[in-house]
Amino acid sequence: MKMKLLMLLAGLLILSCKSPEARRPVTQKSGSYINESIARNRKIVAEEEAQIQKIIENDSTREYFSSPNGFWYYYNEKDTLSTRTPEFGDVVEFDYSLTTLEGEQIYTDEEIAPRTYTMDKEQLFSGLRQGLKLMKEGETVTFLFPSHKAFGYYGDKKRIGSDVPVISKVTLFKISEENEDQNNQNN
């Protein structure tokens, strides 16, 4: 009996000295999901840009500009004298509304209410953040944003669904420097 116990202990001792082996995944996936996602997103972007181009082609009354950031815009009211546009850390007061490309109202400017935003330090959808950087005080600009520049795949979880391009009419009321704005609040 002692002999069996000693052999069992010796066997366990020998087996326990073995280095651990890496576990292999039960299933292995290729990069096909990522490739399918890329293809799907490219198709969505192309369709949305075609919709926007059709709107631009059918509107001969306005001069549209293409942003290097992937959206289009035109001026409702343009300031030709001022040169100051918002920079990182500036505080801007603005108002905006959102509609679909078909013209259906999503949010009115009354629902959103005038906003105060510190440039690049707070959450704001990327197209609007980039669009504000193009504006001067007193200007009103209408932006046409593909969904990836607006609310993207997730939408806003309220009224804007997945992959919805939007038109946003934005009025920039005031640009002030961050420390200037804080001094006004302290007084």
Residue 124, token pair as written in the block: 């704001």
Low-confidence ranges of the chain (pLDDT < 50): 181, 183, 186-187
pLDDT of residue 13: 67
Q: What is the pTM of this model?
A: 0.78
Q: What is the CATH number of the domain that holds 119?
A: 3.10.50.40
Q: 43 in a domain, yes or no?
A: no
Q: What is the extent of the structural domain holding 174? A: 64-186
Q: How many domains does the chain have?
A: 1
Q: 93 in a domain, yes or no?
A: yes
Q: 51 in a domain, yes or no?
A: no
Give me the sign of the Cα torsion angle 68, 169, 151, 116.
positive
- Asked if 64 and 73 count as a contact pair (C-beta separation under 8 A), the reply is yes
Q: Are strands 105-107 and 72-77 parallel, antiparallel or unpaired?
A: unpaired
pLDDT of residue 17: 62
pLDDT of residue 30: 66
Q: 149 in a domain, yes or no?
A: yes
Instruction: Tell me which DSSP letter residue 148 carries.
Output: G
Q: 105 in a domain, yes or no?
A: yes
pLDDT of residue 18: 61
Q: 10 in a domain, yes or no?
A: no
Q: 166 in a domain, yes or no?
A: yes
Instruction: Determine what percent of the chain falls in helix, strand and coil, rounding each to the nearest 5.
Output: 35, 20, 45
pLDDT of residue 24: 74
Helical spans, DSSP H, in 94-175: 109-112, 126-132
Q: 103 in a domain, yes or no?
A: yes
